Amino acid sequence: MYLKKMEIVGFKSFADKTKVEFDKGITAVVGPNGSGKSNIVEALRWVLGEQSAKALRGGKMPDVIFAGTEKRRAFNYAEVIAYFDNSDHYLQGQDENEEVVITRRLYRNGDSEFLMNGRKCRLRDIHDLFTDTGLGRDSLSIISQGRIESVFNSKPEERRAIFEEAAGVLKYKNRRNETESKLNSTQDNLDRLEDIIFELNSQLVPLQSQRDTALRFQELEAERSDLSLSVLVGQLESKKAKYDQTELDLAQVAQELASLSTRKKVYDEQVSQLRTERQKVEAEQEKLQADQLNFSNLKSDLTRKIELFDVQKDSSEKSAAEREERLENLKSRLEITQQNLTEVQKRSELLLTEKNDLDKLLTELSADLATLSETPEVVMERLRDEFVQLVEEEAQISNEIVRNKAEITDLSRRQSEQDESVRENLTKFEKISQDLSEAQENLNTVKKEIETLLAKFEEGNQAEKKQAELERLAQNKMYDYLQELNQHKARLTSLQNIRESHSNLFAGVRAVMQNASQIGGVIGVVSDLLTFDPKYTTAIDIALGGGSQNVVTEDENAAKRAIAFLREKRLGRATFLPLTTIKGRDFNGLNRIQNMTGFVDLAINLVSFESRLHKAMSSLLGTTVIVDSGENATAIARAMNYNVRIVTLDGTQINPGGSYAGGAGKRNSTTFTSVEISNLEKQIKLSEEQLKISEKEVQKAQSARQELLKEIELLKTQGEEKRFVEQSLNLKIEQLTEQKVALEQLTNLSANQEATGNLLELTKENEHKVEVLAKITERKAEIEKQLEEVKTNSQAHKALQSEKTSALNQAQLRQSEVASELKFTKADEKRLLTDLSALTEEKNQLTALLNPVQFDETERNNFSKQLTEVEERLSQINVRMVSLKFEREDLAAQMEDLEHHNQDFIQQTQELNTKKTRYEMQLEQIEGQLMTLQETLNSEHQISFEEAQATAKIVDDLAEAEQKLKNLERQIKALGPINLDAIAQFDEVNERFTFLSSQKDDLLEAKNLLLSTIDDMNDEVKIRFKTSFDAIRESFKTTFAQMFVGGLADLELTSDNLLEAGVEIKVQPPGKKLSSLNLMSGGEKALTALALIFAILRVRTVPFVVLDEVEAALDEANVKRFGDYMNHFDNSNQFIVVTHRRGTMAAAGSMYGVTMADAGVSKMISVKLDSAIN
């Protein structure tokens, strides 16, 4: 196996993707200081799993990512890939892979990835892959100058790690550590098991007694249950008989009520009939009143119509003659208007026909003229235009020829003028040079200003990053306070819910507290009546024990009521402390212990409560002593002859008699909810204040950061402005430079060459223009010939064209006249139509008015007749209304008589309903008693009444049976507290005790097995280490003598303990006495360390060795010796050497050069020296 190549991207100074290929033998990596040579070694160390940023010369791991330069941006990640040739299957677990590829990536946000052969893996997988291969973390496969120094500067025990790696015992040591961890875990489990077994053993004795009592209770309860069933059946039968008799009485009353109801219905029908008749009368009265009103209105209307008829008749006779005269005038005007309209419409039709004919004629004439448009004159005009154009061109060209000849003559004069132009260009050149110099100076000034702004910008960025970190820390602090506040609030809400629901209490206690108002006299639970310092919570909780859920009552009657309630509802049990009967307990002997070390106080003195509760609280806490620690508690208990109950602050308990109890209770106990709620409310208030302060700090940090960001933005703006100025100056310099170069070129031109060139060009141009003149002369002759031919045929064409044009002009003139006349004719037609319509309307209105109103006397007679009929109908209505009044009064009298009978019905009904209500209440009461008995039967015996009748024994004397039942209940009560669960608990605890005892035996066996395994691994480590150490020792003697050309060296163990012994190095260079390493020179130490490394490599061959400037302390002779010694190894060893020493370079077969062409960015250059030499 050997290292084939590495690929590096973004790691430290390697910004670009860099591929480094390695051959077998010696490869040297050279380059100037600071070029990044050692970064290749660190990249290899990093990809092999190095976790220490310090070992990679960094403060934190993201420091290995390329940080950027002035010209290059920073990278967001670093990646190193190492390729290993595994064709010899050197790496275990990789037998199927000829090549093993290890990849490591790190992102700037802290995320990282490890890949093995392209698959994601863990860091530990990579460590395990190289363990005991000679490539592990503590191996000598990668050696820096500092590692060389550590070989002789480290302690013997630390130096041992090198030999353990070479011996291949690390995996055994790791397994031994894992086994020892398992052994410790097994011992912890064993200790816990023994505690549990001890506790279970102490539970078995009291459970045995409780179990016997529970069995006696079950016997008496079975007898009581049978007798209770018989009594309940007898009581139910008695109540049922009484219920049946009451139902018969109720049925009799119901029958009487039904008879009375039938009579009442007859009465109600008579009343209903009378009420219906009265309603009819009232309805008729209302109708007659409406008719009376309507006929009165009709009478008034008819009277007005008759009067209006008489008035209109007189007025109509006077205006009829006037309207007839107006109508005759309108008829005459209508006739004249109609005649005019008819004439105008006929004229419009004629004009429209003529217009259409003219449009058609104009179209035909336009077509004829279009065909005659190319007249001889047009043709002649076109030819004349062309002839004139040719004459103009001929004159122009002749003039140009004359000008060219003049310009040729003028060349000598221009040559003299050229000299003057050169002098002017030189003056411009000097001015441009001066402007260019000034622009360059301004550019340098601007660049310096930009550099200053960049420095300030970088400082601002750094300050902003620091402020952002301060802001983040302040926010984290604020979030911590917020999280703490939310936790407190959540805990407070939980405790408040618990306190309201009493869910932290035993079932019996919870039932009493939930029904305290119903029971009466209940003060509260002990745990809710105390307050104390939170630091005493554990001690008070242990001191109270189950007493924390005792219920304090005003007196014994309240306690009895509560017990009866629990027994009746079968809701459990509870212990009560009546204030009228409870006796307090005082502690004697306080003066003997109050000055002893660790004594805190009596438990009763550490709690606060109402004064009236003192006896109840002292009965629970009056004789309990609180001590700070178990050691001091033991001393105090011993001083009191173990006759006192002691509890420590951490919950350890020493009972009278000397028994101990302790361990770890559950966290977040809810025993003292009131105390914890009070403390939480204070903590919430404090947390809210801290949160407000923290929020202000965050706001302050944010404001400071915003100010910095504004300053940075201002600097950025100024920098951009300076960049713009810089660009402008660069552009100006570029333009001035171009002008300067152009003037140089102009100044250097030969005036004679320019004049000669112009002369040749003008001569050629004149020759061409003479040829063009000849062509123009030929075309002019052709045009003159064409003009003669056109003149001959022009007379006939002109006569026809003149005729058509005259006809077209006449048609267009007539068309315009017709269109104008038609427009006026249409306007007259529209006006006449409007007048005709208005006259017709006026005529119709006069005609309607002209018809005289026919005032028929028959209509007036009809109005008079209707008025008479209305007056008769009004008289009839008045008579009927008087009759209806008497009928209504008669019906009212009859209804009053029936009302007296109704009062008798009401009185009889009330008496019967009173009886009915009394019987119904009796039934309801009996029904309630039956239901209570039925519920008692269901709750106690879980059977129906029918099943109870079939199974219960018949009771002859119910009262005697009830008395016997009370006696049984007294016997059960005399048994005291009954723990029915004790029967199952005893069996469960006993079974668990037996099981755990068996588990204890298994753990002891496992412990012995682990101890045996550790001994076996220790033996293996000793053998391997001793074998490897002896081989390295002999090899070291040889390599030392070869490297120093003489001298003696030895390795010694600091003790006989092969598992822990350190390694001492003893050397004697040639010509010197045997001495320790500390007395040697730096070069001797380095050469000794290298001799040891080569000795180890002789014994334990590793695939490759990386040496980073390890020979820096050697002189040239020893460097050569070092290089020659590496060549003693065959090609099975691969050396990669970072160096700047010539002797080492001379020994290398391949060489890589590391350079920094760009600041901060490393580049690789490679060469095979063997091939180069050949």
Q: Give the C-alpha separation, 1096 to 1086, whole Å.
A: 15
Predicted local confidence at residue 400, as pLDDT = 75
774 confidence band (pLDDT: 50, 70, 90): confident
Was 1103 annotated as part of a binding site?
A: no
Was 35 annotated as part of a binding site?
A: yes
Q: Give the C-alpha separation, 958 to 230, whole Å.
A: 9
Predicted local confidence at residue 625, as pLDDT = 94
| pLDDT tens for each residue of 843-896 | 665 566 555 555 566 777 787 888 788 778 878 877 877 787 787 778 777 777
Was 297 annotated as part of a binding site?
A: no
Percent of all residues in the chain with a pLDDT value above 90, rounded to a whole number: 8
What's the angle, vertex CA 496, arms to CA 491 and CA 497, rounded to 5? 100
Taking 90 as the threshold, does the pLDDT of residue 627 lie above it? yes
Was 34 annotated as part of a binding site?
A: yes
Q: Are the C-beta atoms of residues 18 and 87 closer than 8 Å to each other?
A: no
- CATH number for 1-140+1105-1174 (one of 3.40.50.300, 3.20.20.140, 1.10.3470.10, 3.40.50.920): it is 3.40.50.300
Predicted local confidence at residue 390, as pLDDT = 77
Domain boundary assignment for the chain: 1-140+1105-1174, 325-375+796-850, 376-409+754-793, 505-669
Average pLDDT over the chain reads 79
806 confidence band (pLDDT: 50, 70, 90): low
Task: Find out if CATH 2.40.50.180 is the number for domain 505-669.
Answer: no
Q: Are the C-beta atoms of residues 822 and 351 closer than 8 Å to each other?
A: yes
Predicted local confidence at residue 1174, as pLDDT = 47
Region 637-660: mean pLDDT is 88
Q: Give the C-alpha separation, 832 to 583, whole Å.
A: 134
Region 766-776: mean pLDDT is 78
Q: Give the C-alpha separation, 168 to 135, whole Å.
A: 11
Query: Tokens at residue 914, please?
Result: 């009173």
Phi-psi region of 659 (alpha: psi -120 to 50; beta: other; left: phi over 0): beta
Was 60 annotated as part of a binding site?
A: no
Predicted local confidence at residue 852, as pLDDT = 52
Was 33 annotated as part of a binding site?
A: yes
Dihedral pair phi/psi, residue 540, rounded to 5°: -65, -40
Region 1031-1041: mean pLDDT is 88
| pLDDT tens for each residue of 944-1000 | 777 777 778 887 787 888 888 888 888 888 877 777 777 887 888 788 778 778 877
Please give the single-letter amino acid code of residue 172: Y
Taking 80 as the threshold, does the pLDDT of residue 15 lie above it? yes
Residue with tokens 């509260």: 524
First to last CA, the chain: 28
Predicted local confidence at residue 520, as pLDDT = 92
Was 517 annotated as part of a binding site?
A: no
Was 1037 annotated as part of a binding site?
A: no
What's the angle, vertex CA 869, arms to CA 868 and CA 873, rounded to 5? 120
Query: Tokens at residue 595, please?
Result: 């000055």
Q: Are the C-beta atoms of residues 18 and 1162 closer than 8 Å to each other?
A: yes
Query: Tokens at residue 579, please?
Result: 């204030």
Q: Give the C-alpha separation, 844 to 945, whole Å.
A: 109
Predicted local confidence at residue 121, as pLDDT = 92
The closest of 301, 306, 291 to 873, measured between CA atoms, is 291
Looking at mean pLDDT, say which of 116-120, 155-159, 660-664, 963-967 comes out highest: 116-120
